[in-house]
Structure formats: structure tokens, C-alpha cells
Structure 1
Amino acid sequence: MAVYTEVSEDEARALLHSLGLGELTSLRGIEGGIENTNYFASTEQAGEPRDWVLTLFERLTHAQLPFYLHLMKHLAEHGVPVPDPQAKAEGVRIGPGEDDILHTVCGKPAAVVNRLRGKSELAPGPAHCAAVGEMLARAHLAARDYDRRLPNLRGLAWWNETVPVVLPHLEPEQAAVIRAELAYQNHVAASSAYAALPRGPVHADLFRDNVMFEGTPEQPVLSGFFDWYFAGVDTWLFDLAVTLNDWAIDLPTGATDEARTQALLNAYQSVRPLTDAERRLLPAMLRAGALRFWVSRLWDWHLPREASMLTPHDPRHFERVLRQRVAAPLHA
């Protein structure tokens, strides 16, 4: 999250009124992340304080956003703890490109969701990973009957477009690695085994800072998954791989943490066992997940956008993860 578009208190107040969420008491820009403008907004209604997150979408369009927002609504209705997009009050005009939960602020598409309880756990243990694995499987199954479709916009087609853009910024040896991995992923995607993988709506960005916990470190209670704005229809295995590549690795080296890996995988499979095709392709999808974020971090690092609060992530981290996934494949 970052602030690319400045929102005044008057503009935020008008939106919150249109949603029937009470009187604005504070508005604060959120630091971190890279894609959208985000603010914490607090209101008071009938003497009760309430907390929200206001998001302005800097790249996604009014036409694309209903997929994400209504997916969150769908998951919430199926018992998955996600931020719930807030609808316009009865009688409020729906503007061009909007719907009941998609709004416009400063000329940008916008949404307001409830602020989840708890905090992120940036140094997770096996118990945190197990909670994430179980809830990820529940989310996959809950979204099976979601009727909107949008491809993963940061999938293979985007990698093929973006790798040539970042190549001039790499050392020759790095360029050789990224070219070879992209060729390998194109080969995998053309295979019959890949075509057999189960798929549906996925989060595609379920990192440690996109999950909230309450409880204690020994007995954590997962209170929510958020930041669904990279979601799309893709293989469930890719989503699991992206998650493992953050929750179950050693951050300094990118190497696999066995205890956290097994905790996450076992918990996921207690809800949705992997198919034979998924077991065979898990090493390839772990490499795919590492490539996806190496490419995107290279793009953000070398071709940054202006923002009033922004610290791009170091792309070398996912270079290390990819090299580890190639050197030491993980088998389910």
C-alpha cells in the first residue's frame, strides 16, 4: 500500500456519508505496498467508533474491479474472513462505471472495506502457517461457484511481456537465469499435466503482510485475508506455491523451512487434498511463483512510479528464492 493520490478529508467524508458509515473522525495514509492508494479512515456512528480502509485503485479500472470486490463479498458470505466492501446507502446515485460497492474518488475507482482485527505476523511459526494453509484451502473451495471471470493479470502472459523490459537492468548471469526460467515456465504451461490442474479464483499475493492474526504466538487465530487486488482465475497450485514461497522460507537465504512447509501443506490438504497432477507440478509452480515476484519487483525497482510514500521491495530476494527452488525442489 502507498499514497499516489491525495484524498482530502472533505472527499473522504462525502464518500463515507454516501455509504451510511457515520461521521469521519480521522484519515491517515497507509505506508507500504506498491499498487494502490490506501487510507485508514475512522468514523463514529451512534456513539460507536468504527474503522475502515479506503482504497483508490491506480492501475485497475472500473471495468476490472467488480471481479475483485464481488469475490471478496462472495467469500465473506461463505465464511472466509476477508474485508467486506461497503455498499452505497439506499437512494444514493450510482455513477458511471460504478456499482453498489464500487465507487469513485478523485476520478479514481475506489472501495471502502472494514478494517480487520489483529495484526500481521512477520515471523510466523508452524502454527501460523497451518492456519494460513487451512484457510487458503477453504477460500479455494468457497470460490468454486463464483460466477465472474478474470484471468490472473500477473500470470504467464505478463511475465512474457515484462521480462524483456527488465532485462537491460540485469547482469548477464541474471539475465541468463531469468530467460531460462521463463522458457521453462512456457514449456510447463503448454503441457497436458498443467492443463489438468484444478483452478478457480485465487488470491495470488498471500504474503505475511496480507494476513491478520489474533490470539497468541502459540495459539494464533487467523482473523482475515486481505489485499485481494491481484486475484484472478489461475491454478490453485500456483496460489499455494506463492503462499509457500513467503510463509515457509528462510528470508535471508530463500531456502525452504521444512517445519513451516509441512505445517502449511498438511493443513491445506486436510481441507483439500492435492491431486496427482498437483503433486507432480508443485516444484514447477514454486519456481513459477518465485519468477512472478522476481519479475514484478524488478519492474517496480527499476521503473518506479511516483508516490508520496513508497519503498520498493528488493528484487534480489525472489532471485534467491528462485535459485533455491531450482537447486532444491520441494515435493509434496
Structure 2
Amino acid sequence: MAVFTEVSEDEAGQFLHSMGLGTLIELRGIEGGIENTNYFATTTEGSWVLTLFERLTHEQLPFYLHLMKHLASRGIPVPAPCAKPESAPVPRGEDDLLHTLKGKPTAVVNRLRGKSEMSPTVAHCAAVGDMLARMHLAGRDYEGRQPNLRGLPWWNETVPVVMPHLDEAQAALIRSELAYQNHIAQSSAYAALPRGPVHADLFRDNVMFEGTKEQPVLSGFFDFYFAGVDTWLFDLCITLNDWAIDHPTGRADAPRTHAMLQAYEAVRPLSDAERRLLPAMARAGALRFWISRLWDFYLPREAAMLKPHDPTHFERVLQARIAAPLLP
């Protein structure tokens, strides 16, 4: 959520007013993240998140925005995209939820209540597992179709680009793991994995809680702009790889892992194929973010407030998942 495209208060105020969202009171750029330009906007009508998309196109974005609308309509606590006023025309290349500001595809969503929990307990992990399973089931009848744009084909394209920046041991690890994941993707067990819309980036900073540390209440999932159609198991493993590990070492935290898996399966039990491939998909989730962080770290874009994440973190997570496979 860095700021790549500067938006003035006048520009934001006019834009929000044209959408019937009130008069701008405060505009603040959001620090963190590396994909899009984001601002918190407070108006006389409420609190919003204004996002200008730097990589996703007008053609790709309706999938994400209408997925959020679909999930919200089914009781999943996600930001609801703001539509154009009923009397407003829909310019070519947009739809009712997609807008344009400063030449960039743009969305406005309501700001969720609560705050992120960066030191989650077993209770937080159980709440996330429960809601992730509910989100997967709620998305089953979503008609939008778009692949995970950071899936295996992107890994195969990107590894050769980042390879010159790796030492011999890192290069050997990434080549070996990529070959392993290509092999897994061709298996009959992988073909049998249940699929549907996935979040694909459900890290600690993309979930909000109210309540107390001892009794947290999950108030929302957000930042769906890495979503796509993929295996639900991959989505679950990405989430486990952030919420249920010891961050300094990358090793699994057994109580938090058990809490998330148990809560998830209480809503949607894992299939036999999912149980077989849980260790492999945990490795896949770590590889995906190691590759993307290498790419962002060594090939950064200019932006205000941009802080690329340390890629070695997910190198450690991958090594830990290989050394101690995640079991159901």
C-alpha cells in the first residue's frame, strides 16, 4: 500500500464528492504494501479507502471488485466497493464499481472497523481459519473467472529474472523447489483439489479484529487484489505460513497451526487429496512469496513510502516446511 501516484486533497475531494460520498475532511497516504496507491479518506459521510491500481488493468479489476461485493452479500466481513451514483454514466472501460482517477483504475471501499493483530494468539488463528473456510464456501457460486495471476506460470517466468541476484545455495534451492512444484501440479492428486475464488494474500495485516486479545472478534478481511481462482488448500497454506509460524525462524507453531486447521475443518473438512498435498502446498505458499519478494526487492518501482519486504523471511519458511512437513 505504498503511494506511487500522488493525489491532492482537491483531486480526491472532487472525486469522492462526485460519487456521493460527502465532503473530504482528511486524506492520508497509507504506508506499507508494494502494489497499489492507497489513501485513507475521511468525509462527512464516513471513512473510506481510496485505491489507485498500478499494475492491474481495467479489464482485470471487475473480478476483484465484484468478488468482494459477492462475499459481502453473503455475510463475509469484507470491504464493499462503492458504486457510481445511479444517474452517473458508465464510461467505456469501466463498470459500476470501477472508476478512473488520474488515468488509473480506481476503487473506493468502506474502511473496516478494528485493527490488525501482528502477534496473534490461538484464538486469533481459530477465528481466521473459521472465516477463511466460510469465505471459500461463500465464493462457490461466484461467476467471475480469473486465474491466480501470481500462480505457477508466473513463478516459472519470474525465477529466471531473479536468479542473477541469488547465491549458489539460494539458486539451487529455488530451482529444486520450482521443479518440485511443477511436478506436483501435474499430478492426479493436484487435479482433484477443490477450487474456487481465493484471497491468496491473507497475511496478518489484511485482517481486522475488534474485542480483546483474549476474546478477539474478527471484523474483516481486506486487500483482495491478489485474489483469483486457485485451490482452496493453497489459500489455506498461505494463511498458515503467516499466522501460525515463529517469525524469526520460519518454523511452524504447533498450537496456532492446530487451532487454524481445526477451525477451518469444522466449517469445511479437507478432502483426501487435500490431506495428501498439505505439505506440498505449504511449500508452494512459501515459494510464491519468496519469489515475489525477491522480485520486489531487486526490481523495485519508484514510490513514496515504499518499503520492500525482506525476501529471506520466506526463504526460511520454505526451508522449514521442507525440513518439517506440515501434516493435517
Alignment equivalent of 2:239, drawn from 230, 240, 243: 243
| Identity value in percent | 77
Q: Please, what TM-score do these two structures have when normalized by structure 1?
A: 0.98
Question: What residue in structure 2 maps to residue 199 of structure 1?
Answer: 195
Q: How far apart are the structure 2 equivalents of 1:307 and 1:95?
A: 29
Alignment equivalent of 1:272, drawn from 268, 271, 276: 268
Report whether the alignment pairs 1:58 with 2:54.
yes
- How far is the alpha carbon of 1:93 from its aligned partner? 2.2
Question: What residue in structure 1 maps to residue 210 of structure 2?
Answer: 214
Q: How far apart are the structure 2 equivalents of 1:95 and 1:42?
A: 26
> Counterparts of 1:163-202 in structure 2 under 5 Å?
163-202=159-198
Report the 3-state secondary structure (helix = DSSP H, G, I; strand = E; otherwise coil) of the residue aligned with 2:287.
helix
Amino acid at match of 1:245: N
Q: How far apart are the structure 1 equivalents of 2:98 and 2:296?
A: 27
Amino acid at match of 1:4: F
Q: How far apart are the structure 1 equivalents of 2:141 and 2:287?
A: 30
- How far is the alpha carbon of 1:18 from its aligned partner? 2.1
Question: What residue in structure 2 maps to residue 79 of structure 1?
Answer: 75
Question: What residue in structure 2 maps to residue 298 of structure 1?
Answer: 294
Question: What residue in structure 1 maps to residue 9 of structure 2?
Answer: 9
Deviations 1:184-236 (A, max 9, x none): 00000000000000000000000000000000000000000000000000000
Report the 3-state secondary structure (helix = DSSP H, G, I; strand = E; otherwise coil) of the residue aligned with 2:269.
coil
Report the 3-state secondary structure (helix = DSSP H, G, I; strand = E; otherwise coil) of the residue aligned with 1:53.
strand
Report the 3-state secondary structure (helix = DSSP H, G, I; strand = E; otherwise coil) of the residue aligned with 1:145.
coil
**Over 4 Å off, 4+ runs:** none
Alignment coverage as a number of residue pairs: 328
- How far is the alpha carbon of 1:10 from its aligned partner? 1.9
Asked whether the equivalents of residues 204 and 230 of structure 1 are also in contact (C-alpha less than 8 Å), the reply is yes
Q: How far apart are the structure 2 equivalents of 1:29 and 1:138?
A: 32
- How far is the alpha carbon of 1:96 from its aligned partner? 2.2
> Counterparts of 1:89-168 in structure 2 under 5 Å?
89-168=85-164
Question: What residue in structure 1 maps to residue 283 of structure 2?
Answer: 287
How big is the alpha-carbon RMSD for the aligned residues of Structure 1 and Structure 2? Answer: 0.6
Asked whether the equivalents of residues 18 and 92 of structure 1 are also in contact (C-alpha less than 8 Å), the reply is no
Deviations 1:273-301 (A, max 9, x none): 00000000000000000000000000000
Q: Please, what TM-score do these two structures have when normalized by structure 2?
A: 0.99
Structure 2: runs of 5 or more not aligned: none
Amino acid at match of 2:133: A
Deviations 1:229-280 (A, max 9, x none): 0000000000000000000000000000000000000000000000000000
- How far is the alpha carbon of 1:90 from its aligned partner? 1.9
